[in-house]
Chains A and B, each alone.
Chain A
Amino acid sequence: MAELGAGILHGGDLAFNYQERELNERLKRLYPAVNEEETPLPRSWSPKDKYSYIGLSQNNLRVHYKGHGKNHKDAASVRATHPIPAACGIYYFEVKIVSKGRDGYMGIGLSAQGVNMNRLPGWDKHSYGYHGDDGHSFCSSGTGQPYGPTFTTGDVIGCCVNLINNTCFYTKNGHSLGGIVMNVVSHPHPPPPHPQPNLYPTVGLQTPGEIVDANFGQQPFVFDIEDYMSEWRAKIQGIIERFPIAERLGEWQSVLQNMVSSYLVHHGYCATATSFARATETTIQEEQTSIKNRQRIQKLVLAGRVGEAIEATQQLYPGLLEHNPNLLFMLKCRQFVEMVNGTDSEVRCFTTRSPKSQDSYPGSPSMSPRHGASNPHLHGTGADSPTCSNGVSSGKNKQSHNKYPGLSSSSSSSSSSSPSSANYSESNSTDSTKSQQHSSTSNQETSDSEMEIEAEHYSNGVLENSSTRIMNGTYKHEEILQADDSSLGNGLAEEGCTPRLLCGGNQAATERMIQFGRELQGLNEQLCREYGKNATHKQMLQDAFSLLAYSDPWNCPVGQQLDPMQRESVCATLNSAILESQNLPKQPPLMLALGQATECLQLMARVRSGSCSFARVDSFLH
């Protein structure tokens, strides 16, 4: 790098940055379950949490002794900047002995915050250490146990904590020296009043000249810790997979069938649900027609035809929207947005060109969200980030209206789902088989409105904060249109080059939209009078109207609203409301279970139960 003429200093910086990046990548790979915002990982020694005889250098990674070193009263330790998060499951760091100094009285190990630093690790309560001079292991006691070989200059000593079974072991030059049971109170249930304190990586030195370098992941480890982790990952997954259900096998099966069936019904996959019920000889609680009705309404919403959806709801479920003015308001706001979009039937009737271009809904598998990762850190890597394109709201967009919906959705929409793109013009498919098994003729890869869950095609989410509200959405909206107006189907060529225009570019439509906007405002005022001011409504309205302030609403700061993806939350809310009105659960048990499992794992991390790191919900979802 220095060759580039950037100068040595610059070159050094680059090298440092490179190391920093490598550290981040390694830590992420080793401890994927750790949320570093909550519990940062140790990355260096703490300049504050050390005895005065300890000196630090080289980015606080090198430790040297600067005391007198007369006797054990001159021992000195230093802890890492942060304790080991329980979500690591298994944690590992290494220390290279740069020099054994005068006597090589060095201790490598762990200690809790507050343990006396004028000591070597292992001598006191809540501390553990492996000592170089005699090779003994000290477990919270002044007398060590014969443990391993001695160590000296040039050796690399590692320390591994297993928070799953509360053991630790040390390594020397890449060789595991054998496990030690840490004298920790085992986890009774409920959790003990004084849980095991957080442990910090710790080193202690005692005689002049002793120097050690730490490796918290800055460099590859000498010991193959990932191999050790893989064994535990396999072990814990094995425990889950082989969870004994022997006597309750039948019960178990019916629970699973019920979960699948209720999920299908919830989302209105009527035909699939029926054939599933037939195959498993189970019954469906809800009536066929009811499912079909919901399916129809959902499809209307997802197709952007909210006006029709409202009509259908009022007709099929009289009183629902009247009793639920907030829902009605939300739907109307969406309807307004769809009018801007040119998709709502109230404006579409004015346009001559096919509405298809606006209808296209990015239900392509490529942007289906992964499973509700309510915590962005659970997924972490960039590749996974567009996870909340539908259904999954990550924290801030809990409400179905989003001013600036998740970054992720915007990134996905910019790639392929923008309504103007001609990518989704499947309109020439006039296939009208009874079930919606229509074969996609477009370049939309795997598309089927029926629930064919494929690898990436999983389109549900779990909402954060244990509300576990689930939305679903890999619908495509063509079917309903095909059924409704078969006159469509010529749009392809035309749409390819048509620019997006407000209300499809039709004057009459625009007027209708303005009028509708006034009605919407009126509705808001009416609601204010009846129920008092509602900040949410105000915001929704403001966002929707803001679209008109820009010449190109699709490319404006609030243009995100026009993304068809935004229909999903509206759709799910409406669906839940209908189900609730029919005295049916507003969310399917499958998603409840999924949300519960995710939540449970987070709870385990908080109560320091290490196995949470290897029991990942996503490793059981395919």
Chain B
Amino acid sequence: MACLLEAPLRISVLSEVTASSRHYVDRLFDPDPQKVLLGVIDMKNAVIGNNKQKANLIVLGAVPRLLYLLQQDSSGAELRTECAVVLGSLAMGTENNVKSLVDCHIIPALLQGLLSQDLKFIEACLRCLRTVFISTVTPVQLLYTDAAVIPHLMSLLSRSRRTQEYICQIFSHCCKTPDHQTILYNHGAIQNIAHLLISFSYKVQMQALKCFSVLAYENPQVSMTLVNVLVDGELLSQVFVRMMQRDKPIEMQLTAAKCLTYMCRAGAIRTDDNCIVLKTLPCLVRMCSKERLLEERVDGAETLAYLIEPDVELQRIASITDHLIAMLADYFKYPSSVSAITDIKRLDHDLKHAHELRQAAFKLYASLGANDEDIRKKIIETENMMDRIVSGLSESSIKVRLAAVRCLHSLSRSVQQLRTSFQDHAVWKPLMKLLQNAPEEVLVMASSTLCNLLLEFSPSKEPILESGAIDLLCSLTQSESPALRVNGIWALMNMAFQAEQKIKMDILRALSTEQLFRLLSDPDVNVLMKTLGLLRNLLSTRPHIDQIMSSHGKQIMQAVTLILEGEHNIEVKEQTLCILANIADGTTAKDLIMINDDILQKIKYYMGHSNVKLQLAATFCISNLIWNEEDGSQERQDRLREMGFVDILHKLTQSADPSLCDRAKTAMQQYLA
């Protein structure tokens, strides 16, 4: 009701405002250029800080006229500059304002303006461009459409502190892809911007620093160049270290730490370099402390997670620095009960950052626990850690879910935790749920975690099976993504390890032999390896071997032959020979080999191979075939003797490799008995 009553009033106010706005626009069309100038100046004063007014002027068509005036040489320097200032002010408004400006082709017009000789005008254009480009609604590609723009911007860097600030800010917001990095790099961004790091202006320093952080991110070429750059006789990395000093503004410390992190991850700085170990890492840990703003804590934790991800030594140092693991537990306490009471603004702020905080903490925990068992233990012992992960897995925010599952994955590498905390908290439940329908990156992580949960010693294995994991995993093997196919088949492999007959048959049935053979010819070698692993796990214990070989023997023998003939690496061949050895361990299955001359020749060939692993696997296979006390062993021994295997075995007993030697001797004994 209240709304209805208020409505007419609003309209009348609006019409008044529109009328006054129209006056401003009308004045832009005055024939007297002096009056136009005064009109633009009045407009400038009217729109400052007034989003309503800005929107009105845009609706009333002020933008095309301003752009026209800006582009006319006849307008005169002052008018053109004032036009750029007003446009810049309009761009400061809402996203819709920026959209309208971009739609009016403001960017090419302003870029054209940069060719002017008048510094004030250039600065006004740059300022407006900056405002437009830092908006998320502006396509950054617009900066790169005209190839002449970047070199011209580089040349303008020397004009004034303002041009430096604005141009660096434009670069750091418009450098989103490796291609952008390369373009800027090729136009000398590093040389042109490096000396700005020691500018007297803090703003210029900061924007230059941000430029380097986006340029170096995941870019070895830029990073390798950066380490050798000297600024006023000082190495760039030392300049960054200085910017991380604790009395410097937080923003500067954090951004400098990012630069060094990216350079380190790109391989340009060693992970044991003092500037990483004693400076960057502690700086980033400080950024995670309670004293920092929520945004800074998010940024700090994410950057630290990225820095230490591949290096166990850095993980160990981080884990003992300033109680980081306990510090991160605070990330889950937003919005706090206090913030809800104190004021609504704070609550809003906390709510906005709560997801970001949680996902950042999960990411950092994931990195911390990636390799070291002690650290994993410390993480899990943190208050309510498993509960937090479990609830994180089912949060609405994809970012949080992904980070939570990453964290879980990292922790799932611990055998001890799989047996204890993981079981206590039934993490498999939300994990299975997550696998039902999730975006690919979540799926990759979740299925990878599932692989670990399906390890034979894991108590989660049973309930996961019961919840229909087999079908789910089989469907993953049909995915487009190699990573998902690997994880699917890997999980099946783990599931089949020492499994009961029923499970193995279920797997075979659900996967279907067609799919199994498709996977055996998968272009991804990891998929092939895990599929062979699955076969090997399926073909274990004699009754299982015989049963599977009786139903699928022909296809399996075909596939084995194919792989042994194909161009594959040693590991693949070894795995295949192991499968043969398993088949040779069957009772009835043995015949499938014995009747296959081709296979026997191949085994013979691999017994004489230069690679010990292959020799070993092949010998194992023969050893199984000639094993005494089994039906028909005598015939098999004779047949194989005829084929010359005894001579080979004899030769192998002289092998320098002790295990191969042992294996051959054991086999020879079968003949002697």
Contacts of A227 in B (CB 8 A): 245-246
Q: Shortest distance in angstroms between A223's beta carbon and chain B's nearest beta carbon? A: 9
Judging by beta carbons under 8 Å apart, are A149 and B245 in contact?
no
A234 near B: Cβ within 8 Å? Answer: yes
B148 near A: Cβ within 8 Å? Answer: no
B321 near A: Cβ within 8 Å? Answer: yes
Of A58-66, A173-181, A580-588, the one with at least 4 CB within 8 A of chain B: A173-181
Judging by beta carbons under 8 Å apart, are B321 and A231 in contact?
no
B282 near A: Cβ within 8 Å? Answer: yes
A55 near B: Cβ within 8 Å? Answer: no
Contact flag A149-B320 (CB < 8 Å), given A175-B282, A176-B282, A224-B278: yes
B317 near A: Cβ within 8 Å? Answer: yes
Judging by beta carbons under 8 Å apart, are A230 and B320 in contact?
no
Query: Number of A interface residues, CB 8 Å?
Result: 17
Partner of A230, one of B247, B317, B321, B322: B247
Contacts of B247 in A (CB 8 A): 230-231, 233-234
Partner of B246, one of A148, A172, A177, A231: A231
Interface residues of A in 318-376 (CB under 8 A from B): none
| Closest chain B residue, CB of each to CB of A173 | B317
Partner of A174, one of B245, B246, B278: B278
A228 near B: Cβ within 8 Å? Answer: yes
Judging by beta carbons under 8 Å apart, are A175 and B245 in contact?
no
Q: Shortest distance in angstroms between A468's beta carbon and chain B's nearest beta carbon? A: 32
Q: Shortest distance in angstroms between B40's beta carbon and chain A's nearest beta carbon? A: 35
CA distance A174 to B323 in the complex (A): 15
| Closest chain A residue, CB of each to CB of B378 | A146
Q: Is the interface of B mostly helix, strand, loop or mixed?
A: helix
Partner of B323, one of A172, A178, A228, A233: A178
Contacts of A175 in B (CB 8 A): 278, 282, 317, 320-321
CA distance A230 to B278 in the complex (A): 16
Q: Shortest distance in angstroms between A135's beta carbon and chain B's nearest beta carbon? A: 9
Interface residues of B in 408-458 (CB under 8 A from A): none
Contact bitstring B16-44, A, C-beta under 8 A = 1, else 0? 00000000000000000000000000000
Partner of B320, one of A148, A224, A228, A233: A148
Query: Number of B interface residues, CB 8 Å?
Result: 10
Judging by beta carbons under 8 Å apart, are A230 and B245 in contact?
yes
Contacts of B282 in A (CB 8 A): 175-176
Partner of A178, one of B278, B317, B322: B322
CA distance A306 to B245 in the complex (A): 56
| Closest chain B residue, CB of each to CB of A228 | B246
CA distance A233 to B323 in the complex (A): 24
Judging by beta carbons under 8 Å apart, are B321 and A176 in contact?
yes
Partner of B321, one of A177, A224, A228, A233: A177
CA distance A399 to B436 in the complex (A): 91
Contacts of A179 in B (CB 8 A): 322
Contacts of B322 in A (CB 8 A): 169, 176-179
Q: Shortest distance in angstroms between B74's beta carbon and chain A's nearest beta carbon? A: 45
Contacts of B317 in A (CB 8 A): 175
CA distance A235 to B229 in the complex (A): 33
Interface residues of B in 288-344 (CB under 8 A from A): 317, 320-323
Judging by beta carbons under 8 Å apart, are A230 and B246 in contact?
yes
Interface residues of A in 194-227 (CB under 8 A from B): 224, 227
CA distance A231 to B282 in the complex (A): 14
Contacts of A231 in B (CB 8 A): 246-247
Judging by beta carbons under 8 Å apart, are B245 and A177 in contact?
no
Contacts of A177 in B (CB 8 A): 320-323
Q: Shortest distance in angstroms between B339's beta carbon and chain A's nearest beta carbon? A: 23
Contacts of A174 in B (CB 8 A): 278
CA distance A179 to B290 in the complex (A): 12
Judging by beta carbons under 8 Å apart, are B320 and A172 in contact?
yes
Interface residues of A in 124-178 (CB under 8 A from B): 148-149, 169, 172, 174-178
Contacts of B323 in A (CB 8 A): 177-178
Contacts of A224 in B (CB 8 A): 278
Q: Shortest distance in angstroms between B315's beta carbon and chain A's nearest beta carbon? A: 13
Q: Shortest distance in angstroms between B533's beta carbon and chain A's nearest beta carbon? A: 39
Contacts of A234 in B (CB 8 A): 246-247
CA distance A179 to B246 in the complex (A): 16
CA distance A342 to B577 in the complex (A): 115
| Closest chain B residue, CB of each to CB of A234 | B247
Interface residues of B in 604-634 (CB under 8 A from A): none
Interface residues of A in 404-454 (CB under 8 A from B): none
CA distance A178 to B322 in the complex (A): 4
25 interchain pairs, CB-CB under 8 A: A148-B320, A174-B278, A175-B278, A175-B282, A175-B317, A175-B320, A175-B321, A176-B282, A176-B321, A176-B322, A177-B320, A177-B321, A177-B322, A178-B321, A178-B322, A178-B323, A179-B322, A227-B245, A227-B246, A228-B246, A230-B245, A230-B246, A230-B247, A231-B247, A233-B247
3 smallest A-B Cβ distances: which pairs? Answer: A231-B246, A178-B323, A234-B247
Q: A148-B320, A177-B322, A178-B322 are in contact. List 11 more A-B contacts (CB 8 A).
A: A172-B320, A174-B278, A175-B282, A176-B322, A177-B320, A179-B322, A227-B246, A228-B246, A230-B247, A231-B246, A234-B246
* Partner-A contacts on B (CB < 8 A): 245-247, 278, 282, 317, 320-323
